[in-house]
């Protein structure tokens, strides 16, 4: 079945390629499971997805998939969440081919892992900490982003979850955006964290640098609150 990205439902599985992936960010043609719901996909015109692998991954990061047609087998790599954009597809109509659909209990297990990764951290360590603002390569340019994955995840993985920050003239009041006040970075402009663009990145592959600035406690809480709504 062929469907537009905006018409995808949570749990549907399609086979395509993430062209912007780097290094260990799961490049190549492979199955992806849709983890955002239909309302998110309809509004944004794209879906949040996770890749599947035939290589066994231990829980909680790897969730053994059960599907309705048993055409797709393997493990959902929950740590590698990414937005699947129309620019990744080699056709003009933003269509993908649905090959199977995950059983509800498999999807629910993934959602629980996502919620755990986006839990507010109560401690710090000497790596990338939740709430820190970083500068990195995304697409064909450098931009700022805020680290949103919790610190035990960051400490034990070679990747982190980030939401890009775009400098705007003012806050746009969009429900999936968070205003970030960091005058030392953005001057008279405003940093807007695009939570709907959450993605897992490999710091070394993205030329990541710390900005030595963190978002405020309230800003971080707002980011995590929005992120967790995506996983309801």
Across the strands, what pairs with 210? 134
Q: Which pLDDT score is estimated for 115?
A: 96
Q: Which pLDDT score is estimated for 58?
A: 81
Give dist(CA 159, CA 170) in Å, integer. 31
Q: Does domain 2-117 have CATH number 2.30.30.110?
A: yes
With left for phi above 0 and alpha for psi between -120 and 50, is residue 218 left, alpha or beta?
A: alpha
pLDDT along the chain (232 residues), means of 10: 94 83 60 96 95 86 93 93 78 82 97 96 90 91 95 91 89 87 83 95 91 95 97 94
Q: Which pLDDT score is estimated for 25?
A: 47
Tokens of 124: 């710090």
What are the percentages of helix, strand and coil residues in the chain, rounded to 5? Answer: 25, 35, 40
Q: Which of 53, 56, 95, 97 is nearest to 72 (CA)?
A: 53
For 72, phi then psi, to 5°, come to -115, 130
Q: Which pLDDT score is estimated for 149?
A: 97
Q: Which pLDDT score is estimated for 27?
A: 58
With left for phi above 0 and alpha for psi between -120 and 50, is residue 144 left, alpha or beta?
A: beta
Residue 61 exposure: Cα atoms within 13 Å on the Cβ side: 19
Report in angstroms the alpha-carbon separations of 133 from 52, 93, 161, 178, 191: 29, 35, 12, 13, 11
Q: Which of 154, 155, 15, 37 is nearest to 96 (CA)?
A: 15
Q: Which of 80, 21, 23, 78 is nearest to 204 (CA)?
A: 23
Tell me which fold the domain 132-230 belongs to. SH3 type barrels. (2.30.30)
Domain spans of the chain? 2-117, 132-230
Give dist(CA 164, CA 166) in Å, integer. 7
Q: Taking a C-beta distance cutoff of 8 angstroms, is the pair 165, 192 a contact?
A: yes
* pTM beyond 0.85, yes or no: yes
Domains 2-117 and 132-230 share a fold: yes
Q: Which pLDDT score is estimated for 144?
A: 96
Q: Taking a C-beta distance cutoff of 8 angstroms, is the pair 35, 119 a contact?
A: no
């Amino acid at each position: 079945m062929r469907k537009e990205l905006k018409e995808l439902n949570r749990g549907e599985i399609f086979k395509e390629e993430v062209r912007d992936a780097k290094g260990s960010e799961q490049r190549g043609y492979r199955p992806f499971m849709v983890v955002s719901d239909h309302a998110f996909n309809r509004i944004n015109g794209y879906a949040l997805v996770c890749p599947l692998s035939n290589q066994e991954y231990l829980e909680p990061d790897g969730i053994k998939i059960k599907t309705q047609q048993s055409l797709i087998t393997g493990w959902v790599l929950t740590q590698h969440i990414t937005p699947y954009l129309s620019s990744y597809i080699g056709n003009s109509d933003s269509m993908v081919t649905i090959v199977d659909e995950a059983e509800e209990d498999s999807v629910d297990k993934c959602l629980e892992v996502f919620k755990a990764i986006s839990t507010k951290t109560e401690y710090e360590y000497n790596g990338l900490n939740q709430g820190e603002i970083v500068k990195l390569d995304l697409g064909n340019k450098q931009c700022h982003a805020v680290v949103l994955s919790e610190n035990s995840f960051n400490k034990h993985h070679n990747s982190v979850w980030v939401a890009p920050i775009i400098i705007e003239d003012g806050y746009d009041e969009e429900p999936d955006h968070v205003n970030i006040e960091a005058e030392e970075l953005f001057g008279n402009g405003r940093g807007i964290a695009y939570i709907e663009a959450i993605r897992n990145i490999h710091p070394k592959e993205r030329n990541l640098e710390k900005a030595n600035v963190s978002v405020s406690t309230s800003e971080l809480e707002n980011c995590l609150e929005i992120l967790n709504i995506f996983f309801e």
